[in-house]
Structure 1
Amino acid sequence: MGAAAGGLAGRGHRGCPGPRPGQPHANRARRVGGQPERAPAGGAGRLRRDVGLPQGGVRASGPEPGGDRPARPASGEAGGDPRNLPGWDSPRSQGFRRPPAAPRRPRNRRRDGARRGSGDARRRRPERVIPQRAQSARSLLFQPFPIGQGGLVLPNRIWLPAMVTWRGTEDGFVTPSVREIYLRYALGGAGMIVLEATGIRDVASGPLLRLSHERFVPGLKALRQEMRAVSASIVVPQIIDFLKIATRKPTRVFMEDAVRRGALAESVLDVSDAEFEAGLERYVQGPRLRHDFLYGYRQTIEDLSREEIRQIPGWFASAARRAKQAGFEGVELHFAHAYTMASFLSVTNGRTDDYGGSFPNRMRLPLEVIRAVREEAGTEFLVGCRYLGSEDIRGEDGQIRGNTLADAQAIGVELARAGLDFLSISRGGKFEDAKQPPIGEAMYPYTGHSGHTCIPRGKNDPFGVNAHLAAGIRQALRAAGFATPVVASGKIVTFDQAEGLLRAGQADLVGMARALLADPDLPLKWQAQADAKARACVFCPFCEQEDQRHRVVTCTLWPKDPADHRRRLTPAAWRPDAPWDPHEAFDATADDL
């Protein structure tokens, strides 16, 4: 990854060795003759102290050399500027002001010497326009928002989507670490907090939370009470059904297991591992068994019996009832990504009975789930879902397949007709185009093309990359006569970008996952004119890699434990009156980026 960001290695704050804040920093530009030093022309390495700077060196701010900055995106475009929208006065006339200039690092360069961030204006981090305190109350983003049929009101329109934390016990119970992270989110001020994907089947699932039995209710109830004591945020768990999956086995282990199950002839054990791998087409009959060898076993919806399918609505309904007992205001049904319900909704659904094929058949199980949850939890209990605006599965031929926006619009109308209280829009994250895992690991659905669209993690991914999906679905709902709120998400990072989505009518609520993971206090800082003190997500793969490795998910911008300089510590709650350490606003190391 890029080595331009510098890091904690040379910092002396929070007990770390190295220079203290205010001393010269190894990665900060040093003035020579009134100008900052240039980075070496060959790439993004550490600045050399012994290199002089010719006249006309790199500018610390202002237009790019050779011309003005690229034009900003048009209003209404994902990542666009709300100041260009109808009804939006100029920031200056409304009392908006730009944030105070923060200490700047020299511009990073790629290995080819080109400036990072050049190119399409949508790929540049949107400029920040911060409302003064009197004006933030008039922004749509900080307006209270009524939701559901039970009189609930979100304190603002900022939505924290579900993110797996890997902090539970191995059997799915709440731990002190789970309480720590969700209390931290609650203190940050988001209007809605969606608890991580919580299992509905009473089966082993590792350190993921579960609502599959009454024994899980006390821990979740205590968590909700603690969050309510410090925050007015509405909190709902995301409830999920997922099918069986196994790790990819070594060749000999796979052969022995297949012989034991009768899937391979016993004579295959006389073949060497290398010969078996080279002659896979000859020894392994059928694409399914070959797939299991190459990727590891994965149960699909085509494997489910009708009896198994009939149990799923009851599992969702029971989990919703337990969530209500635990004090949560509602649930979010997980109909997205690589899991059971999304697979039924997909045009790739290969079932040949009345749960697959035609659109009404593919909608059958999701609608049965919604009806069962409503009957169990009541109409005043908040029930919404997260589903895909587009699947973006790339086939071996390079063609994109799976549900498109048009499919998602039709699905959204039926979900709204069924009485859901909100629709949260995601994208991709499918097993069908995931990369082959190493031996000993299971498939991870965010490694292929669809996974990249789900978690945009490159500098070339536009900001607000998925906003058009939410906008298209919202438009279809309104045309069909439904006012169901729609949540947009996907690389939304600044106040003016979030406000612009709302004013353009692209969404009703703004989901920010990694932005709030990087800095849970972002809503408070925006309201207090302290955006310059925010930790801005750099969209590196750090948190995603931790998830893939089934390790506690943290952020590369969080402070490190001074005891070992490795473990990431959940950042302390922000205090407006606390002195600001400028180093703290960007805590990534070169290796992290």
Structure 2
Amino acid sequence: MDVEACGVLDRKSPHLLRICDDKFIPGLKEMTDAVHAEGCKMTLQLIHYVKQSVRTGWKQAIEDLSYEEIDEIKKQFVDSTIRARKAGFDGVELHVAHGYTLSSFISLLNKRTDKYGRNTEGRCRIVTEIMDDIRKEVGYDYCVGCRISGEEFVMGGNTLKQTTEIAKIFAQASMDFISVSAGGKTEDGPWYTGYSGSRCMATANLPYGCHVYLSRGIKNALREINSDIPVIVSGKVKDLQHGEEIFQAGDADLIGVCRPALADPDWIKKQVEGREKEMIKCVYCNGCLERDQRHEKVNCVIADKIAERKAAQQAQQN
């Protein structure tokens, strides 16, 4: 189980969990204790974001970050990893996908001309340095992986040609897994409003398994360097049977599911028990995303309507 993006820095927006201070450890520990009591492992996704304005669309450029600011970013990830372990998380996932800080560094859109730019190795340097510092603090027996965008789906951005090489670099930098997402860049529209955003939060018009070709490409690239670290794929995985087909084809080792589990928290259990007909199925309308963008409680709009209908029927019966 992977928890939502959790901020490694103290900044007012966006509205996320925080792990930028020791004061957050007790609350997070309550959560991990509850999950562990059910026999489940739990990782925490760590995220850093540059300054940006939703109102005007302005976003701080990573080209403007000084070495001192970059060092602070690296320290924030390391300190947050230490806190995550103290809070009982079984591992962490570095968010190196979509439109956030680390993703902006590894993208071809990064135009820095110093050691944090110029070529693939330079663009990946901030992440590999973070991994070096994390391993010095927590060792190699603590699970640390990352999430990347297999393709960015913006002009001039990363495609599978670049991300296969990035995956090799990350595997050699002691990543324990690579989770493959896509898109999510703000260059074509803020807050997942452009095409890149629609590929990140795969919409109803896209086919099931629309990102499997990305995990397949990355998996094959890792085989070239004899790396067997797990690759996770997400993006409209239809059901457990679909996931099994992906595994059997050798295209990924794990599947990532979010919106279907939001629509029905028993998404896995009902399939294991043969109760598929009882499932509330995600229709990929992204009503949950719209609620998130309005800073509202993020529930599935379909599940809410079904619950309201059942409550009304029960009230009539009574």
Q: CA deviation at 1:206?
A: 5.2
**Paired residues of 2:215 and 2:233 also in contact (CA < 8 A):** yes
- SS of the aligned residue for 1:401 comes to coil
The alignment status of 1:449 with 2:195, answered yes or no, reads yes
Question: How many percent of aligned residue pairs carry the same amino acid?
Answer: 41
Aligned partner letter, 1:214:
D
Of the two structures, which has the highest relative contact order with CA contacts closer than 8 Å and spacing of 6 or more? Answer: 1
Which residue of structure 2 lines up, in the alignment, with residue 224 of structure 1?
32
Which residue of structure 1 lines up, in the alignment, with residue 263 of structure 2?
518
Aligned partner letter, 1:455:
M
CA deviation profile, 1:322-376 (whole Å, cap 9, x unmatched): 0000011110000000000000000110112111121121111110111111112
The alignment status of 1:233 with 2:40, answered yes or no, reads yes
Which residue of structure 1 lines up, in the alignment, with residue 110 of structure 2?
349
Q: Structure 2: which 5+ residue stretches go unaligned?
A: 314-318
| CA distance in structure 1 between the aligned counterparts of 2:35 and 2:121, rounded to whole angstroms | 40
Q: CA deviation at 1:203?
A: 2.7
Which residue of structure 1 lines up, in the alignment, with residue 57 of structure 2?
296
Q: Which has the higher helix share?
A: 2
Q: CA deviation at 1:210?
A: 0.7
The alignment status of 1:476 with 2:221, answered yes or no, reads yes
- SS of the aligned residue for 1:234 comes to coil
Which residue of structure 2 lines up, in the alignment, with residue 540 of structure 1?
285
CA deviation profile, 1:145-190 (whole Å, cap 9, x unmatched): xxxxxxxxxxxxxxxxxxxxxxxxxxxxxxxxxxxxxxxxxxxxxx
| CA distance in structure 2 between the aligned counterparts of 1:377 and 1:558, rounded to whole angstroms | 41
Change (3 A) 1:473 1:247: closer
| CA distance in structure 2 between the aligned counterparts of 1:311 and 1:346, rounded to whole angstroms | 20
| CA distance in structure 2 between the aligned counterparts of 1:560 and 1:454, rounded to whole angstroms | 25
Aligned partner letter, 2:274:
Q
| CA distance in structure 2 between the aligned counterparts of 1:318 and 1:382, rounded to whole angstroms | 15
- SS of the aligned residue for 1:487 comes to strand
Which residue of structure 1 lines up, in the alignment, with residue 8 of structure 2?
200
The alignment status of 1:503 with 2:248, answered yes or no, reads yes
| Aligned residues between the structures | 312
Q: CA deviation at 1:561?
A: 10
Q: Structure 1: which 5+ residue stretches go unaligned?
A: 1-192, 249-294, 394-399, 435-442, 567-580, 585-593
The alignment status of 1:416 with 2:224, answered yes or no, reads no
Which residue of structure 1 lines up, in the alignment, with residue 21 of structure 2?
213
| CA distance in structure 2 between the aligned counterparts of 1:348 and 1:379, rounded to whole angstroms | 32
| CA distance in structure 2 between the aligned counterparts of 1:205 and 1:535, rounded to whole angstroms | 32
Which residue of structure 2 lines up, in the alignment, with residue 314 of structure 1?
75
**Paired residues of 2:35 and 2:41 also in contact (CA < 8 A):** no
Q: CA deviation at 1:548?
A: 1.4
- SS of the aligned residue for 1:314 comes to helix
Which residue of structure 1 lines up, in the alignment, with residue 49 of structure 2?
242
**Paired residues of 1:386 and 1:423 also in contact (CA < 8 A):** yes
CA deviation profile, 1:516-553 (whole Å, cap 9, x unmatched): 11112121111111111111111112011111112111
| CA distance in structure 2 between the aligned counterparts of 1:492 and 1:359, rounded to whole angstroms | 30
| CA distance in structure 2 between the aligned counterparts of 1:332 and 1:557, rounded to whole angstroms | 30
Which of 336, 356, 359 is the aligned partner of 2:97?
336
Which residue of structure 2 lines up, in the alignment, with residue 550 of structure 1?
295
Which residue of structure 2 lines up, in the alignment, with residue 150 of structure 1?
none
- SS of the aligned residue for 2:93 comes to strand
Taking only aligned residues, the RMSD between alpha carbons, in angstroms, comes to 1.9
Aligned partner letter, 1:383:
V
Using the size of structure 1 for normalisation, the TM-score is 0.51
Q: CA deviation at 1:406?
A: 1.3
**Paired residues of 2:181 and 2:200 also in contact (CA < 8 A):** yes
Q: CA deviation at 1:495?
A: 2.4
Change (3 A) 1:486 1:561: closer
Which of 163, 182, 187 is the aligned partner of 1:432?
187
Which of 137, 142, 145 is the aligned partner of 1:381?
142
| CA distance in structure 2 between the aligned counterparts of 1:415 and 1:205, rounded to whole angstroms | 29
**Paired residues of 1:335 and 1:341 also in contact (CA < 8 A):** yes
Using the size of structure 2 for normalisation, the TM-score is 0.94
Q: Name which one, 1 or 2, has greater alpha-carbon Rg.
A: 1
| CA distance in structure 2 between the aligned counterparts of 1:194 and 1:330, rounded to whole angstroms | 9
CA deviation profile, 1:383-414 (whole Å, cap 9, x unmatched): 00001100111xxxxxx431010111000011
Which of 470, 479, 486 is the aligned partner of 2:231?
486
**Paired residues of 1:318 and 1:376 also in contact (CA < 8 A):** no
